[in-house]
Structure 1
Amino acid sequence: MAEPVAMPDRLDDLVRAAAQTVPHRIALRDKDTQLSYAELDAQVSRCAGVVRNHWHASGGVIALVAALDPAFAVAYYGIVRGGASVAIVNAHLRGENLAHVLRLSGARIAIVTHEMRDRIQEARRWVPELTEVLLTRGDAGGTGAECLEDLVDNHAPVTATPPASADEVACIQFTSGTTGPAKGVQLSHQNLVTNAHQVAKAHRLNGDAVMLNHLPSFHPMHLNAGLAAMATHVLCRSADGADAVDEANNYGATHFYSLPVRLARLAADPRLPGLRLATVRTILSGGSALLPAAAEALSAHFGVAAIQGYGLAETSPLTHGDLPERPTVGSVGPPVEGTECRTVDVDSRQPLPVGERGEVQVRGPQVMRGYLAGVDNPIDRDGWLSTGDIGYIRYDGVLFLVDRTKDVFKCDNWLVSPSEIEAVLARHSDVADCAVVDVPDPFRGAVAYAFIVPRSPDADLGRVLEEANAGLSDFERLHGIEAVDAIPRSPNGKILRRDLRARAPHTPD
């Protein structure tokens, strides 16, 4: 049967369209669960019944922890089909950071995993409006806690979908919070449905695709794109890259999704020479920058492209994707369909010509409606979103990212990119990991300072500093270096530079 190309108006209609077209195709599977599209759609409708009739939550917000579990998909689409908005909560959040996103979302109901239950209960001290917490699945601890799985199994499905404009908010996602408190991003049905089809096209997904998901949590981008393509999604919860390779082969995966930090570990794994990918056509990385050396090593070994894309919570998220059939190592590729990109001068805000570095701006149908809680909207009157990233665009539209605007700094009025200095350090044989931050200087504005994880305890930091500086311009030169046990990173691998700045000396050596 031919698969439709028309895009639905509602996010949850991605499920309905697939169930009507390929009802018996496997939508989601892991080692314990397998759901066809027809079964997924039926569970989504019963979950919607819980939202509307049991909780009377239509029109409200329900928080949902992004667990790598088929139950996440049921709840994600079920909440939306029930007429509520779903607020996606990072499973790694703790304490005040967790309380902040719950409070910001305005949710009064939270659906969580066993692992997060105690943390959520603790956070409720700061979030009095959160009145109900339940588990996604049955309580293995035997405490009798209510779970969504039981409610869904015992509830009648909705018989009619509540009316919704394509511009209505379907989902609230949160920025990573690496440079300040997380912001709540309001994404409409149109934002998410459009981007699902943009991602499916950019990643060359279709009904024959099998997506191996080797991420620590479920990102709606992968879920939505898989449904738009009517593909099969395989969830791998093991953090071990070799296990993920085995799972990809076991299920005939065509697309291998992972994080840069996991792919870098796989590229350096001593077991790599013995690993093969039998059916995978593309390795795809996202969340932060994938080191070119890791991409090249994996591509050379497995014989397939290892590519990365670019996007933000504010763009649903994807705006760029490298081409699987013609990758450009070190780039994030051209814009996805229907998306425009330009760079502007960081001071004057004037558009820049091809090849010149400036702040990246994007425009397209996947750009958010705005932030929660009155945060200033970074979208100008012409629809351009300022991303906060520095980059340049090649003659053919391919985008190369350099750094974050909040991470770059000026030395002697030259713009300095910590990421470019890190790339030089990372090539040194004594450096296992590294990060660079700016240190104030009374004469030059700021200078670079490095934190490194040495490969061995007897690594000569002085030699590392000297040899790295030999390959840097004067304004990029490191004015200090310090050994650390680990570089602090967010769950998706982004360096927490503000934590390192607090540790750096106030003046350079």
Structure 2
Amino acid sequence: MPDVLATARWREPLPLPEPALGELPRRAAALWPDRTALRHGERTLTFGELERATARCAAAVRQAVGTGAVVGAATVLAPVFASLYYGVARSGNTVVTLNPLVRGEALRHVLAASGTRLALLTREMWEKLAPFRDGLPDLATVVVLDCGTQGPPAGTVALEELLAAAPADDGRAERTDPDAVACVHFTSGTTGAPKAVPLTHRNLTVNAAQTAQAQGLDATSVTLNQLPLYHLMHLNSALWAGAAQVLCPDDDAAAAVAAADAYGATHWFSIPVRLARLAADPRLPDLRPRTVRGIFCGGSALPAGPARILSERFGIPVVQGYGLAEASPTVALDLPGRPRPGSCGPVVAGTECRVVGLGTRRVLAPGERGEIQIRGPQLMRGYLGPDGRRDFDEEGWFSTGDVGHLDEDGYLFVADRLGDVFKCDNEIVAPTEVEAVLARHPAVADCVVFGHPDEFSGSVAHALVVLREQGPDGPGSTPERVAEEVNADLAPFQRIQYIDAVPGLPRGPGGKVQRRVLRATALGA
């Protein structure tokens, strides 16, 4: 079998972009100074205005901490994050992205592990962090982004005060090493302790160009970012392409469609949990975005059912991508012009992908399932701290920890996390595939599946389900009946052997289910 079939490398080569992350706003302002860059509610910023805000932020940060420091910034879905993110990068410092949904002890861990000296937080984040303040000796200053008329809480500084104390632009232009670390991102920790991912200027700007090409973004595009927080891929790729961004944190489907129509959105970005809810929304027959050419999602798998419903209803493709923090993050994206159901599409330009056996580590042929490995210019050089390069081999291939396969055309299909799949009767079972069938049952509102140790089979499927208040057969619907009906559509090794009804399923930031935690609780591990 020729190796070309086992290793995917697609899309046309790209010219290398300007390697300094903080220069993306300056480049956009030079090319499209008066075009809209960001819309958020009633506020609009042109690319020229974003560049001036970035310059002021760079001067303010440099005045506060000098250069060579670590600055944490809350990834709020608002224009302020864009100017802070690029401003920190331009100031000669490293930005650590802080998820505003992560608070308290978890936030303290990120700040302590990264050695953050200046933290740019929301008021709510600070209120949850304050009890841990004494345990952060490296943290010199906390800036609150949303003080409003209340003023800054004790021990903090208002963002307006930080900016007012600095010149609009101190005129300094830091020479930027393209291979210097620009940003540190902490993984979600859904399969273990969060790891610190350092991304260079080159990683991020190259991935901006890769993502823009894969999504078909250009200076005529308008993106609707219906997300709970700012994702770097959307921000960087839009700046690279000159696309306008409409920021829509509202998870209401009708509000998203109204925003898309009001501003002529061409690309709709969302997360699977929101799209799944939209597909089940009773208002769906009355909703239809007029200008959107495609709906894009990632972060976790979107079941085929909701994707098909939305695509048929709206008459546009619903495509999924595959990425990870270690790859800045985009690795693959389905082709809107010819999507392949269940696929994450081919890899982005300049990227290689292969699948290796879970035990043998040999490169597998198309259709064979194993661990996904990647290699490309957007890939980090190694984790910070003791983890280092443990997931790289001697040829630079990075083991993602995800299980999937490539088809003969190079389309990538992702099944599950390596730590989540299990073997039943020597067959690999991907919980997300069982969940996709389970979620189609009309009595099931939400679900999760994991492996339950079994003396004879190794492991068998164990499901937790949130049942709707009234199933298709009335209040008599039971978990056992659901399992019996769903098992008829599953392979023998996938069939659910244990099932429990639960009132709800906790999900982490971005809507990911906490499978590892739920499994440990259910099994008493």
> What TM-score, normalized by structure 1, do the two folds share?
0.96
Gaps of 5+ in 2: 1-13
CA separation in 1, counterparts of 2:133 and 2:152? 19
Residue number in structure 1 paired with 2:267? 255
Distance, in Å, in 2 between the alignment partners of 1:248 and 1:194 is: 28
Q: Give 1:123 deviation, angstroms.
A: 3.4
| Residue equivalent to 1:141 | 150
Choose from 239, 243, 248 the match for 1:227.
239
Q: Does 1:73 align with 2:73?
A: no
- The alpha-carbon distance between structure 1 residues 413 and 140, as it changes in their structure 2 partners (threshold 3 A), is farther
1:102 aligns to 2:111 (yes or no): yes
Distance 2:170 2:359 in 1: 53
Checking the alignment, whether the CA contact within 8 Å between 1:14 and 1:227 is kept in structure 2 is: yes
Matched, 1:35 2:45: yes
2:21, 2:182 within 8 Å by CA — same for their partners in 1? Answer: yes
Match of 1:20? 30
1:473 Cα deviation after fit:
2.8
1:6 positional shift: 5.8
Please give the per-residue CA displacement for 1:261-305, whole angstroms capped at 9, x wherever unaligned.
011111111111111211111111111111111111111111111
CA distance in 2 between counterparts of 1:66 and 1:244 reads 20
Which ranges in structure 1 are unaligned for 5 or more consecutive residues?
A: none
Q: SS state of the match for residue 245, structure 1?
A: helix
Q: Does the aligned pair in 2 maintain the 1:390–1:405 contact within 8 Å?
A: yes
Structure 1 residue 324 displacement after superposition: 1.1
Instruction: Tell me how far apart the structure 2 counterparts of residues 262 and 301 of structure 1 sit (CA, whole Å).
Output: 16
Alignment of 1:54-93 (within 5 A): 54-56=64-66, 58-93=67-102
Following TM superposition, the consecutive aligned residue runs of length 4 or more in structure 1 with deviations greater than 4 angstroms are none
Change (3 A) 1:227 1:203: same
Which secondary structure does the structure 1 equivalent of 2:387 belong to?
coil
Specify the alignment match of 1:311 in structure 2. Answer: 323
Counterpart CA distance in 1 for 2:151 and 2:24 is 36
SS of 1:433's equivalent?
Answer: strand
The answer for the alignment partner of 1:388 in structure 2 is 401
| Conserved? CA contact 2:123–2:147, under 8 Å | no
For 1:238, the equivalent position in structure 2 comes to 250
Q: 1:137–1:150: 8 Å Cα contact kept in structure 2? A: no
C-alpha contact (below 8 Å) 2:95/2:183 kept by paired residues: yes
TM-superposed deviation, 1:109: 1.1
Question: Could you say which residue in structure 1 is the equivalent of 2:209?
Answer: 197
**In 1: Cα distance, 2:242 partner to 2:131 partner:** 39
**Which residue identity does 1:422 align to in structure 2?**
E
Question: 1:374 aligns to what SS in structure 2?
Answer: helix
Cα gap change, 1:140 to 1:406, in 2 (>3 Å)? farther
The CA distance in 1 between the partners of 2:170 and 2:272, in whole Å, is 41
Q: Measure how far apart 1:33 and its partner are.
A: 2.1
Q: How far apart are residue 481 of structure 1 and its match? A: 0.6
Q: Is the 8 A contact 1:85 1:169 kept in 2?
A: yes
After TM superposition, give the deviation of residue 456 of structure 1 in Å.
2.4
Quote the Cα distance in structure 1 between the aligned partners of 2:323 and 2:355.
15
Using the TM superposition, give the Cα deviation of residue 346 of structure 1 relative to its aligned residue in structure 2, in angstroms: 0.7
Counterpart amino acid of residue 134 in structure 1: V
Q: Secondary structure at the match of 1:370?
A: coil
Partner of residue 485, structure 2: 467
> How far is the alpha carbon of 1:143 from its aligned partner?
4.3
Find the counterpart in structure 1 of residue 289 from structure 2. 277
- 3-state SS of 1:12 partner: helix
1:414 is aligned to 427
Q: 1:122 to 1:33 in 2, by over 3 A?
A: farther
Task: Output one character per residue of 1:383-413: Cα deviation in whole Å (capped at 9) or x when no partner.
Answer: 1111111101011100111111000112232
CA-to-partner distance for each residue in 1:171-208, whole Å, 9 max, x for gaps?
00111110111111000000000000000000000001
Deviation at 1:137, TM superposition (A): 4.0
Aligned to 1:432: 445
In structure 2, the partner of 1:326 is 338
Residue identity opposite 2:316 in structure 1: V
What's the CA shift for 1:154?
Answer: 4.5
Q: Which amino acid aligns with 1:499?
A: V
CA distance in 2, matches of 1:382, 1:412: 34
- More contact order relative to length (CA 8 Å, sep ≥ 6): 2
Tell me whether 100-109 or 371-380 shows the greater mean CA deviation: 371-380
Q: How many residues are paired up?
A: 503
Mean Cα deviation higher: 137-146 or 101-110 = 137-146
Kept in 2, the 8 Å contact 1:409–1:415? The answer is yes
8 A Cα contact 1:449 1:504, kept in partner: no
- Counterpart of 1:91, as a letter, is P
Q: Secondary structure at the match of 2:463?
A: strand
* 1:159 paired residue number: 171
Give yes or no for the alignment of 1:357 onto 2:369: yes
Distance 2:91 2:425 in 1: 57
Distance, in Å, in 2 between the alignment partners of 1:139 and 1:90 is 21
Name the structure 1 match of 2:124.
115
Return the offset for 1:454. Answer: 0.7
Say whether residues 1:366 and 2:378 are aligned partners: yes
Partner amino acid, structure 1, of 2:496: L
The answer on whether the counterparts of 2:60 and 2:165 sit within 8 Å (CA) in structure 1 is no
1:10 to 11, 20, 23: 20
Give the Cα separation in 1 of the matches to 2:40 and 2:144: 19
User: Would the aligned equivalents of 2:465 and 2:499 in 1 still touch at CA under 8 Å?
Assistant: yes
AA paired with 1:51? Answer: V
Contact 2:105–2:129 under 8 Å retained in 1: no
Aligned 8 A contact 1:440 1:506 in 2: no
Counterpart CA distance in 1 for 2:147 and 2:479 is: 52
Shift of 1:239: 1.7
Write out per-residue CA displacement over residues 460-497 of structure 1, whole angstroms, 9 at most, x where no aligned residue. Answer: 22211112222323322222110011122212222211
Match of 2:458 among 445, 458, 463: 445
Find the aligned partners of 1:155 and 1:125 in 2 and give their Cα distance. Answer: 28
- Give the residue type in structure 1 aligned to 2:277: R
Deviates more, 1:190-199 or 1:37-46: 37-46
Q: Matched residue of 1:176: which SS?
A: coil
- Offset, 1:5: 6.6
What amino acid is aligned across from residue 224 of structure 1 in structure 2? N
How far apart in 2 are the matches of 1:126 and 1:241? Answer: 42
Using the TM superposition, give the Cα deviation of residue 66 of structure 1 relative to its aligned residue in structure 2, in angstroms: 0.6
